[in-house]
Amino acid sequence: MDTQTKTNTKIETEPLVARVTLHPFLAGMNRAQLALLTDCAMATHFKKGQTILREGEFANRFYLIESGKVALESGADFGEPVVIETIGPGDLLGWSWMFPPYIWQFTARAVESTTAIFFYGTILREYCEKDHSLGYELFKRMSVVMMKRLQAARKQMLFVHVRGASLESSRFC
C-alpha cells in the first residue's frame, strides 16, 4: 500500500466531527460554529481527472481538501483552459456559494485522488443568516482565499497575455 493510500484510509476512518474540527481552514472557530458546520458536512472522494465544479454553473457547496490535489481552471469557453492554481490538503475549494449570483468562477478538477469534506452551502447560508458570527468567521477566512485566487488569476492572465504578445511579434520577424 502506497503512502497516499495509507493517508486517505486514515483520513476516511476519522469521525466527521474530528475531521471538521481539525481542518486548518477552520482553526480557531468555536465549538458551536464547528457543530453547525459539521451538521451540514459530508465526507467525499474524487477520482483523478474527475470534475468537481464547473465554471458558470450554480454554486451551492464548498469543500475542504484533506488529501490530494485539485487544479482550478478558467477560460474553457475561449479555447484551452488556463490553470489558475493547484490546491491541496488544508485548502478551501469553492467560495462562490457565499456570494450572489452563486455561480462558480472556476472549474475544479482532481489532479490526483482527493479526499475532502463537502458542505451544503445553501443550508450553511441559512445558518449564517441566523448566526452572524458564523457568517463573519467564514467570510474572513474565505476573503483571504478569494484574494489569493484572484491574484493567481491575474498573474496567469498576464502570463498568457505576454506569451501571446511575444508569439504575435515573432510572426513578424
Cα Rg of the chain (Å, integer): 18
Contact 53, 106 (CB under 8 A): yes
Question: Any idea which residue has 458564523 for its cell?
Answer: 134
Distance (Å, whole) CA 40 – CA 16? 11
pLDDT at 149: 85
User: What separation in angstroms does the CA of 59 have from each of 3, 11, 12, 66, 166?
Assistant: 33, 26, 25, 21, 37
pLDDT tens by residue, 65-106: 999 999 999 876 667 788 889 999 999 999 999 989 999 989
Distance (Å, whole) CA 20 – CA 36? 10
pLDDT at 19: 96
Beta strands 51-53 and 82-87 are unpaired
pLDDT tens by residue, 10-23: 556 679 999 999 99
Query: What's the predicted TM-score (pTM) here?
Result: 0.82
Q: pLDDT band at 28, cuts 50/70/90?
A: very high
Nearest Cα to 156, choosing from 73, 77, 89?
Answer: 73
Range 22-40 average pLDDT: 95
